[in-house]
Structure 1
Amino acid sequence: MATIHVTTPEGTSSEDYHIHIGRGLLAEAIQYPDHYGIRNPVIISNTTLAPLHAQALAAGFNAPLLTMPDGEAYKTLETVAMLYGEMVNAGADRRSTVIALGGGVVGDTAGFVAATYMRGVDFVQVPTSLLAMVDSSVGGKVGVDLPQGKNLVGAFKQPKSVLIDTEVLATLPDVEWQNGMAELIKHGLLADEGLLDTSLHRRENAAELVTRAVQVKVDVVQRDPYEHGERAHLNLGHTFAHAVEQVTNYAWAHGQAVGFGLMAAARLSYALGLCSAEFVDRVEGILAEAGLPRRLGAAIDPAALWAAMRTDKKWQGGTSRFVLLRDVCQPLIMEDIQQETVIDVLQGLR
């Protein structure tokens, strides 16, 4: 088992936590709950994962299991309100620990519930998708969507611990593996070129891939826990991705949208003279090997994507803001990029 310690310079020791990565951690957590910061647990999962993993965990803890519908469309304040009510009915109090068992949607939603229920209760992240393991379960960002855009309501809430049981990846559909590869490739482009080696992108290497990708994010989050600077680099590809998700009403999975977003970020970097054509070709080849989208398709209007981007919370004062690349491990933030430039890039990717 690998264990990564997370601390934040502005925080207190009570905000430090450990990320545990290995096989059989769910069973171990039931046997040694105190070791993982679990007391009076309430498990939140979704209707798909409940019979696969959550029911056994709830039985092991003799804990209530609350379920939400599966999918990004349910990452809403309405779902949060429903879960608040079920928490009350289950007798959850300020000493309870919310266990978020699921992918990114469950983690974001359950984490927001934990951050706000009775002004905040402890929570533990138990990600079950590759995407959540390498990205959303780490760093303390939680929140939900509004009709106007993604993640517009949220908080910073550090977990008591993160349990990444790689055994659960055995039931992960291939498309979800591809979705997770998008975030893993993002981390490789930002800070670990070894993660771009497509010969490693196989399930038997899951523990190594997850550990390396998590370390990239932890290193950034420890230096900038509340996204005042460097942490914004982790949004590489996400301005495009969130717009695609919104415009398609979440017909694109998050990982698919991030894959396209990385392609678009590379093309925009080239259009602005920041990187070489060879670098763009390399990014496209890596995404192709992972089975991720590199083109929008004719049905998606670039002008509609631009309009959706204007609600992106990373933009400031109505000014565009994109994370771009000069090369591998050379990210930068560019502001006030003109609408025409972005739309031209998107037109070239239809």
Structure 2
Amino acid sequence: MATTTPTKRRSIWQLAWESLQTGGPSMCQFAITSACNARCGFCNFAVDKMPKEQQRFVTLEQAKSAAENLYHNGIYFMIYVGGEPLLHPDLNEMIAHASSIGMAPMIVTNAGLLTPDRIKQLAEAGLVSVIISIDAAEVGKHEENRGLRGVCDRIKIANQEFKKYKIGTTASVTMSRLIDDYQALPPFLTELGFDSVTFSYPLTTLASSYLGYAESNLVDYTPEELNERFEAVKVLKKEFHVVNPTSSIEDMQRHLKKEPEQFGCLGGWKFFYLDWELNLFRCHNWAKPLCHVSEFDGSQRVRDGCTACMMDCYRDSSVMQHIAVSVSDGFKSLAAGNINQAFQDWFNQKNWLSLKSVIEEAKWLPRL
């Protein structure tokens, strides 16, 4: 049982000041285990695809040491993922420790192991937000793909419990052939207790150690088919809170058409992926690690405007954080006496699109 007292979260004003100085807070997705209890057809973490002898778990001390080094090098949001992070016996302690040193810990889960008692423990440890995976717009399809019978009832209860502790939850829906009609999602998600959704764009390959992909007909789309689904998501935004910014979705449509994209990814600069071997990557789709997490001192950061992939968790966040990075760039240019560069940093179309995206998600961002 975690007993560490959570640290008070940073206020919106503290985050705004940090944005002026450094371009805003950084985030790391930490895969603390490769084990999972689900059988998703579009994921190689699936329990029936991962031999037990290949399952990996970081130790509590490794997780604490990694968190401390990342925090001292500017990482604020720590997102614990797997596999299924709730399978890790030390997750509560990891969250408590991360919270105690000043981080904002989050989890991504299938909710199959959530109970009211476990949720109470997570809340007491300092958890700030939860993302719960949803695969379809009906109970039968979702539970069949997950191989988790009764998980939708668990999700309903979990959403009720998290609200008691003022912990926000968001549904994460993979764009797959399990969803025939995107208009059917809002009533289903509302019934489960969600008021927001983020769409995960389909992945059939990744270059890093992360296994959240699979060669499956469920996610094997032609560019034209995927573009149609992006259009459906944009329509859905008019009636339900979709977290993916419109500007990011439109950039992904440009990506499909091989057109120039508006926003480069901040993976490796503001966003990172840490695996169970403690290798730190710029993102899930980069083959070579930046370094071992113990060696990370900020000098390994990369900012090159990459547009190589369509990973929503990196590309969406990059669009919203673009303006903070640009404002910070402008102040640095001004401090160096380069007034013209400062104005170019501050006043450009990308900043207005980024600001529009932030305003678009203004109701959702405070739950982080």
**TM-score, scaled relative to structure 2:** 0.30
**TM-score, scaled relative to structure 1:** 0.31
Q: Which has the higher contact order (CA 8 A, sep 6+)?
A: 2
